[in-house]
Structure 1
Amino acid sequence: MTDQPDRATRLREAIDRDGDRCVWCRRRCTGLVRPTTEHLVPRVKGGPSWRENEVVACSRCNRQRGHAAPADWIAECERRGWSPDVAGVVRSLRALDRAITVRGGQRRARPYLAAQLRRLT
């Protein structure tokens, strides 16, 4: 397995890759809106701290989402009148699926990931 950079580096890389907007509420993560990395497959569901499992989220959305499934949280965001980046979430979930295929392991995360991809595509 490849070494993963520290959290701050992974956040910078996620912002470079996905932009500086929260994947859930689409607020720009500048000034008072603090950016964080959000695990799409939560750690408690077996999600790794790999770049492919992390997207940019504001601290509010990251905290409020908790361990909710991406598909469930997208529905909640839409109920709140936000426009989550569904395509970005699906793209990241597919990248994680490819990474797991190549690297192996992540036995607990695989069924959760597959279920989320089915629900979102």
Structure 2
Amino acid sequence: MTARTGRRERLRSAVQRDGPRCVWCRRECTGLVRATTDHLVPKVKGGPSWLENEVVACARCNRERGHRSPTDWVAECERRGWRPDADAVARALRSLDRAIVERGGQRRARPYLAAQLRRVARAA
């Protein structure tokens, strides 16, 4: 994967990595349930369009999450009676942190990511 990999290829890679289920509600993304990639660190917060910053999400969850933080959305999903894959979210956040260290840049995303990693550590 390069930094210039297209959205379709990143979605395909995310499905291979995590499986075809929405990380938030765990619905299988086949047939009528359309798979999308959801940026854990939103682009408006400086999040890159890298595979490490994206998880598989159904279109409904991606749309409803909006710009809520991953930890806030996990809590909201649980409140709704869903079983979000909090471990996959935590793994992806840690993977993004490593990728930023290796590749550099992403100055705007770093504080947001650090706060999410702290919240994930407290929840564990």
2 CA distance for matches of 1:4 and 1:19?
23
How much does 1:3 deviate? 3.6
How much does 1:9 deviate? 0.8
Paired residue for 1:97?
97
Paired residue for 2:106?
106
For structure 2, the residue ranges without an aligned partner over 5 or more in a row are none
How much does 1:97 deviate? 0.1
Paired residue for 2:80?
80
C-alpha RMSD over aligned residues: 0.7
1 CA distance for matches of 2:89 and 2:4?
21
Paired residue for 1:55?
55
Matches within 5 A, 1:1-40: 2-40=2-40
2 CA distance for matches of 1:94 and 1:63?
24
1 CA distance for matches of 2:56 and 2:10?
10
How much does 1:38 deviate? 0.4
Matched residue of 1:44: which SS?
helix
Moved over 2 A (4+): none
Report the AA paired with residue 117 of structure 1: L
- TM-score, with length taken from structure 2: 0.95
Matched residue of 2:64: which SS?
helix
1 CA distance for matches of 2:64 and 2:3?
30
Give CA deviations for 1:19-68 in whole Å, capped at 9, x if unaligned: 00000000000010000000000000000000100110000000000000
- TM-score, with length taken from structure 1: 0.97
Report the AA paired with residue 116 of structure 2: Q
For structure 1, the residue ranges without an aligned partner over 5 or more in a row are none
Matches within 5 A, 1:37-48: 37-48=37-48
2 CA distance for matches of 1:3 and 1:92?
16
Q: Is the 8 A contact 2:45 2:108 kept in 1?
A: yes
2 CA distance for matches of 1:113 and 1:3?
19
Paired residue for 1:71?
71
Between the two proteins, the alignment pairs up a number of residues equal to: 120
Report the AA paired with residue 84 of structure 2: P
